[in-house]
Amino acid sequence: MSKPFPGFSTPAAGPESPLEMLAACHERIRHQCATLLRLPPHLAAHGTDEKARAAAAQVMRYFDTSGKQHHQDEEEDLFPALIESMTGSDAVCLRDITQALLTDHHVLDAEWVPLHDQLARIAQGENIQLAADDVAAWVTRHEQHIQREENELLPMAARLLSAAALEHIGRAMCARRGLTFPRE
């Protein structure tokens, strides 16, 4: 791995470094969450103008594609690779962490549905308000989830996963996105 966690700053890490790619995705999630947090006061002040419609569409597009792929990267590739690598005391810790993060994914996905529906209405030009408290709660849950991944999961993955396991994860990430793995 070329860079430590947290604090990975390059916005476009590639699948040849899957842990860095996951960390870079966290920064993009934070960016989308910041946009989402600005939307309720913008709607209150300006209604569903072009900026509001564009922001709603952008946030929806991100969480409906890249956000889902990020969860799949973790659930289908990273978590199983970590569980397979378990030894000693890491086993209990890993099971607890991955189960908690998986539960977070399910809660975030469920809470996304009503937000998505409201954003879709805004993106289509309907003049509705977005509940700032609901947005803030969802963003806070996301931030807490990201912090746990960056502080616990990714450092553990960097310590436990072999180069072959990381390459396998990177290749799966490419396949999920219809990309070619860079080292072919």
Encode pLDDT of 122-158 as tens digits: 999 999 999 999 999 999 999 999 999 999 999 999 9
Q: Is 42 helix (H, G, I), strand (E, B) or coil?
A: helix
Residue 2 is assigned to a structural domain of this protein: no
| Cβ–Cβ under 8 Å, residues 165 and 90 | no
154 found inside a domain: yes
How far apart are alpha carbons 151 and 42 in whole angstroms? 33
Let me know if residue 88 belongs to a domain. Answer: yes
Residue 91 has pLDDT above 90, yes or no: no
pLDDT the model gives residue 12: 59
Q: Considering the domain boundaries, does residue 12 fall inside one?
A: no
- Long-range contacts made by residues 40-46, C-beta under 8 angstroms, separation at least 24? 40/129, 40/130, 40/131, 40/132, 40/135, 41/132, 43/122, 43/128, 43/129, 43/130, 44/129
Domain assignment present for 182: no
Position 164 in a domain: yes
User: pTM to 2 decimals?
Assistant: 0.87
Instruction: Specify if 39 maps to a domain.
Output: yes
* d(C-alpha 67, C-alpha 65), whole Å: 6
pLDDT band for position 88 (50/70/90)? low
pLDDT of residue 158: 94
- Report if residue 7 sits inside a domain: no
First and final CA of the chain: distance in angstroms?
A: 19
pLDDT category of residue 78 using cuts at 50, 70 and 90? very high
Both tokens of 95, joined, read: 């099971």
Tally of domains in the chain: 1
Q: Is residue 178 pLDDT above 80, yes or no? A: yes
In this prediction, residue 4 carries a pLDDT of 35
pLDDT of residue 6: 36
- pLDDT at position 90, please? 67
Task: For residue 121, give the CATH number of its domain.
Answer: 1.20.120.520
- Selection from 163, 169, 12, 150 nearest residue 75 by Cα: 169
Range of the domain at 68: 18-176
Q: What is the per-residue pLDDT for 9? A: 43
- Rounded to an integer, the average pLDDT of 65-72 is 96
Nearest to 44 by CA among 160, 128, 137: 128
